[in-house]
């Protein structure tokens, strides 16, 4: 039986805007304010009641003004506080600017390349979500290339970055190639000794197999890789992960105090204490699956 649409609130223009995944809806009350098919994906900007303006790609939640810190702080600071040096940073994806913004809060970063495939994501993030990228767009250390991040990594010189961060969407469409062995091997090749790699690694609940496969593969390619668990309430299941990898040991697990002190006061979620707990919060089923190799 079909049910009539339910107004999201007393504001008659508000509707539910949902990501529908595996029989579950993850929705915000709000309204679509811009939508367009780019050469790569459907880009949607909404104005939500609870979390401010937000971005969806192909109907999947990417970010929102009043929730993005859960995601960007968790992705960036374990890497930037763990690498031996942080002069040169590469961000693949990240077109809303939030990852670059958090990286550039570290004064030790001298040069940041960001390679985002979809120019419309950058343009609309600058226009509609300016608080997310904030000062990154005009920071002289920031260098944006609208292009293919997979090709960039393939063509980059060996040992040319201290930190490589992948801020992509789910492994379908333009982000599919950001989860495979060849891509991770190039990321390892372009890291300097003492470098750290970081990627969003999906939900241990909603994307269980992708999550496990990503952690296993990163361990094989880098030698050391560990997932960190947190929450992004608008994403499928709300339970999210980021995985960090390094060649010379799990240096991403312990935040260097001086670097941490430089950014912690400006964080909403991340702190060295939160990070320690989040690396320890490995669900039992993940621990078993990774130990079994099964």
Question: What does the binding site for ligand SPD look like in residue numbers (CB under 6 A)?
Answer: 60-63, 71, 94, 96, 98-99, 167, 169-170, 200, 235
Angstrom distance (rounded) from CA 2 to CA 37: 29
Three-state SS at 137: helix
- Asked if 212 contacts 286 with a C-beta cutoff of 8 angstroms, the reply is yes
Looking at beta carbons only, is 78 or 94 nearer to ligand SPD? 94
Q: To the nearest whole angstrom, how small is the minimum distance from the Cβ of residue 195 to ligand SPD?
A: 21
From the list 58, 96, 167, 170, the catalytic residue is 167
CA dihedral (22, 225, 151, 189) in degrees, to 10, reads -170
Say whether 148 is catalytic: no
Q: Phi then psi for 88, rounded to 5 degrees?
A: -120, 120
- Residue 100 Cβ vs ligand SPD, minimum distance, rounded to whole Å: 9
Nearer to ligand SPD, 41 or 200 (CB): 200
3-state secondary structure at position 92:
strand
Helical packing angle, 272-280 and 68-80, nearest 10°: 90
Residue 103 or 153: the one with the smaller Cβ distance to ligand SPD is 103
Q: Least distance to ligand SPD from the beta carbon of 57, Å?
A: 8
The least distance separating ligand SPD from the CB of residue 26, rounded to whole angstroms, comes to 9
Are 145 and 111 a contacting pair, CB within 8 Å? no
Nearer to ligand SPD by Cβ, of 235 and 251: the residue is: 235
Residues assigned a catalytic role: 167
């Amino acid at each position: 039986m079909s049910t009539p649409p339910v107004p999201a609130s007393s504001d008659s223009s508000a509707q539910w805007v949902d990501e529908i995944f595996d029989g579950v809806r993850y929705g915000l009350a709000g309204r679509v304010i811009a939508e367009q098919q780019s050469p790569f994906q459907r880009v949607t900007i909404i104005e939500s009641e609870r979390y401010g303006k937000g971005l969806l790609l192909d109907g999947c939640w990417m970010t929102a003004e009043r929730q993005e810190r859960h995601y960007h702080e968790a992705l960036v600071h374990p890497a930037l506080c763990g690498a031996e040096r942080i002069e040169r940073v590469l961000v693949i994806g990240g077109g809303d600017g939030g990852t670059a913004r958090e990286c550039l809060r570290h004064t030790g970063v001298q040069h940041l390349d960001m390679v985002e495939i979809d120019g419309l994501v950058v343009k609309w993030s600058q226009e509609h979500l300016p608080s997310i990228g904030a000062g990154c767009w005009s920071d002289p250390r920031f260098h944006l290339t609208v292009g293919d991040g997979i090709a960039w990594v393939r063509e980059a010189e060996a040992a040319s970055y201290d930190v490589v961060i992948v801020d992509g969407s789910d492994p379908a469409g333009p982000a599919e190639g950001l989860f495979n062995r060849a891509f991770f091997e190039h990321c390892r090749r372009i890291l300097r000794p003492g470098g750290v790699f970081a990627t969003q690694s999906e939900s241990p609940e909603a994307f269980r197999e992708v999550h496990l496969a990503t952690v296993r593969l990163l361990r094989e390619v880098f030698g050391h890789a560990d997932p960190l668990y947190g929450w992004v309430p608008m994403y499928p299941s709300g339970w999210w992960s980021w995985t960090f990898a390094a060649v010379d040991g799990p240096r991403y697990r312990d935040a260097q105090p001086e670097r941490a002190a430089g950014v912690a006061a400006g964080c909403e979620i991340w702190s060295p204490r939160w990070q320690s707990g989040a690396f320890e919060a490995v669900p039992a089923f993940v621990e078993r699956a990774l130990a079994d190799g099964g």
